Amino acid sequence: MEKDIQNEFSAESLKAKRINSALAAGAELFLEKGIESVKMTDIAEASGIGVATLYRYFGTKTRIAADVMTFLWNDLRSLYAGVFDSEVFKAQSGLKQLSDLMQMFVVLYRNHKSFMRLLGEFDRFVISEGLPKEELAEYESSVIDFYPVLERAYKTGCEDGSVRGDVDFRLFYMTFAHALTEMCKKFINGEILPSDDFSCAERELELLIETAVAYVKNNRDREV
Q: Is the entire prediction scored with pTM above 0.85?
A: no
| Long-range Cβ contact pairs of 180-186 (< 8 A, separation 24 or more) | 180/102, 180/105, 180/205, 180/208, 180/209, 181/105, 183/208, 184/105, 184/108, 184/109, 184/116, 185/116, 185/117, 185/119, 185/120
pLDDT band at 217 (very low <50, low <70, confident <90, very high): very high
What residue ranges define each of the domains in the chain, with the CATH number in brackets? 1-59 (1.10.10.60), 69-216 (1.10.357)
Q: For residue range 35-86, what is the model confidence (pLDDT) as tens digits?
A: 999 999 999 999 999 999 999 999 999 999 999 999 999 998 888 878 888 8
Residue-level pLDDT at 154: 97
Residue-level pLDDT at 11: 66
Average of per-residue pLDDT across 7-23: 79
pLDDT band at 224 (very low <50, low <70, confident <90, very high): very low
Q: For residue range 90-99, what is the model confidence (pLDDT) as tens digits?
A: 999 999 999 9
Nearest to 138 by CA among 70, 214, 46, 54: 70
